[in-house]
Structure 1
Amino acid sequence: MTRKAPLVKRLKFIVSRWAKKFGLLDTLRSISKEKYAEKFSASLFYGLMSSIAVNFFFQPGHVYSSGATGLAQVISAISERWLGFTIPVSVAFYAINLPLLVLAWYQIGRKFTIFTFITVTVSSVFIQFMPHVVLTPDPLINAIFGGLVMGTGVGFALKSRISSGGTDIVSLTIRKKTGRDVGSISLMVNGAIMIFAGLLFGWQYALYSMITIFVSSRVTDALFTKQKKMQAMIVTSHPERVTRKIHKILHRGVTCINDAEGTYNHEKKAVLITIITREEYSDFKYLMSKADPEAFVSVAENVHVMGRFVDMD
């Protein structure tokens, strides 16, 4: 016990020094303020959905999923065919995500990466131990419903501020730089993976896999509303009050046009223009009901923004 004590103390010192160097301790302290239950529940939900998609639809139907999951399926099939042993999909999925988690740590955020690591780990465990069930041999049905289940898991994960890993990390990194939609980027990246799968295993199943990718990306975009931008134009007699509420609640900027005149009553009012996300729309309606319930508000959906627009954490 006496000899082990200095060694344990030394190891604690090394771990503490590296954690401090990479900012891990500060990150963990900040995470303690967040809703652990919501994020961990989202991780469990994604793990369950991904394991059902892989073991109930993709593997039995010989359909390849999108992103890291699809690449893991390809690696597993290659190992079984050419190496004489099978690398489990769960192991390949976990190995693919490790370098991407390093990318996420530096390019997206530390809290995001920690919860993504939890999600990837949970998903790998679920895929490994979820039994394989053949619901139908029809590859088209497997492609559609597998994509629906997987897209639901990915969408809810992103909605809870966590990622399922894989190409989600690549997509979010690119979206951070370009502002393009996550689903569209994933569709292009995963198309390249499906070409590779088609060359190896046959174009019939690669085409079915493209259906899976399309369904999954559309469901993801439908659920992950944070990336959808909306423009609100507000005609109000109380511009300062409305602007103050938008700044305080939504933390968004506002452009104000003073001395606008209505052609019916010739009243002088102000026109306010702000850009929000679809996720913030409910809060926007609430603050408008409090700030100026008599204001005229026009909202345009799916607007494209050029310039600086900050995605809130």
Structure 2
Amino acid sequence: MNDFDLNRFSRNNSFLVRIGTAILYSVMVAVALNFFWHPGHIYSSGITGFAQIVNTVTSRYLPFTIPTEATYFALNVPLFILAWNKIGHEFTGYTVFAVAMSTIMMRYIQPTHISLDPILCAIFGAAVNGLGTGIALKSGISTGGLDILGIVVRKKTGMNYGKFNILVNLVIVLIAGFLFDWSRALYTALNIFINGRMIDSVYTQHHKLQVMIVTEHPEAIIEGIQEKMHRGITIFHDVEGAYGHTEKTVLITIIDTYDLYDIRTTVQKCDPFAFMSVTEVQKIYGRFREQEVV
């Protein structure tokens, strides 16, 4: 199944996809945490990493231990408020569900016995968590924590979420070095880097595409695109097809990757014989309206 088919299924089954994705993510983060990070003394990125730090500090220096999952949920509460005000109510509702499920899974999905090399713990933990986070973001939900801050920063600055994640989490690398040793800090840095790259490889909504459409029915296509996506369109009139020497119009627009399903179905509906090409865009200068997160 390609990205077009996945987007079509996601749009037609939005609620079920998001609930299922939230549950899938909660299982994956629990596996990453309990099967790899805890046994390997590796810290995660973001709120999960800070929750692990609280767990380590309290178990070492205080007469009581605060569970990682409890801190994880508590630290997310103020970010729920930020998401509610800055991103969207529906988005926040799915985020609360994802975080609550993750808290439960972290508590109850536990290995009976596992012993791995710390570098393997870093690699596999990052791969599992990064894949789960990327799938969640691609489905239109957040996993809480720095996901929320990353989306807000991306909307304001255009910075890729994975890069933002790596920059913010450098402090966790330093803490890992002080609490354990600097080899563990290196493994934590490797974990954070792989996690960020995995997220960016899966979550491609921030990737921009240039779409060129050659059509004999430009008015219908323009109306359909602007109704669904509110995208600006550049129009080239009076172009000629070399094969049939018929008069055509060329439309050029920039979209998010997530818009590709809508624009393709619109073009197919308005002009089944239209020619459409899609290319990746490296940089955009000027005004570009980001897709709203719901």
TM-score, normalized by length of structure 2?
Answer: 0.86
Range moving further from structure 2, 191-200 or 270-279: 191-200
Post-superposition shift, 1:264? 8.3
Q: Which runs of 5+ in 2 are unaligned?
A: 1-12
**Which of 277, 288, 292 lines up with 1:308 in the alignment?**
288
Post-superposition shift, 1:131? 1.4
Matched AA of 1:224:
Y
Q: Which residue of 1 aligns with 2:51?
A: 72
Q: Is the 8 A contact 1:62 1:205 kept in 2?
A: yes
Post-superposition shift, 1:268? 4.5
Q: Could you tell me how far apart the structure 2 residues matched to 1:291 and 1:35 are?
A: 25
Whose radius of gyration is greater, 1 or 2? 1
Post-superposition shift, 1:288? 2.7
Q: Which runs of 5+ in 1 are unaligned?
A: 1-33
Q: Could you tell me how far apart the structure 1 residues matched to 2:214 and 2:248 are?
A: 7
Q: Could you tell me how far apart the structure 2 residues matched to 1:262 and 1:190 are?
A: 53
Post-superposition shift, 1:52? 0.6
Q: Could you tell me how far apart the structure 2 residues matched to 1:139 and 1:274 are?
A: 47
SS, match of residue 289 in structure 1? helix
Q: Is the 8 A contact 2:23 2:101 kept in 1?
A: yes
Matched, 1:41 2:20: yes
Q: Is the 8 A contact 1:228 1:278 kept in 2?
A: yes
Q: Which residue of 1 aligns with 2:31?
A: 52
Moved over 6 A (4+): 262-266
Q: Which residue of 2 aligns with 1:194?
A: 173
SS, match of residue 169 in structure 2? helix
Q: Could you tell me how far apart the structure 2 residues matched to 1:213 and 1:133 are?
A: 26
Larger RCO, structure (CA 8 Å, separation 6 or more) = 2
Matched, 1:175 2:163: no
Q: Which residue of 1 aligns with 2:258?
A: 279
CA 1:254–1:275 in 2, change beyond 3 Å: closer, same or farther? Answer: same
**Which of 132, 135, 159 lines up with 1:153 in the alignment?**
132
TM-score, normalized by length of structure 1?
Answer: 0.82
Cα root mean square deviation, aligned: 2.2
Q: Could you tell me how far apart the structure 2 residues matched to 1:114 and 1:241 are?
A: 36
Q: Could you tell me how far apart the structure 1 residues matched to 2:253 and 2:14 are?
A: 29
**Which of 88, 95, 98 lines up with 1:116 in the alignment?**
95
Post-superposition shift, 1:133? 4.5
Matched AA of 1:292:
D
Matched, 1:86 2:55: no
Matched, 1:289 2:265: no
Q: Could you tell me how far apart the structure 1 residues matched to 2:66 and 2:111 are?
A: 16
Q: Is the 8 A contact 1:57 1:134 kept in 2?
A: no
Q: Could you tell me how far apart the structure 1 residues matched to 2:162 and 2:105 are?
A: 24
Post-superposition shift, 1:134? 4.4
Q: Is the 8 A contact 2:155 2:290 kept in 1?
A: no
CA 1:35–1:239 in 2, change beyond 3 Å: closer, same or farther? Answer: closer
Matched AA of 1:87:
I
Q: Could you tell me how far apart the structure 2 residues matched to 1:36 and 1:290 are?
A: 26
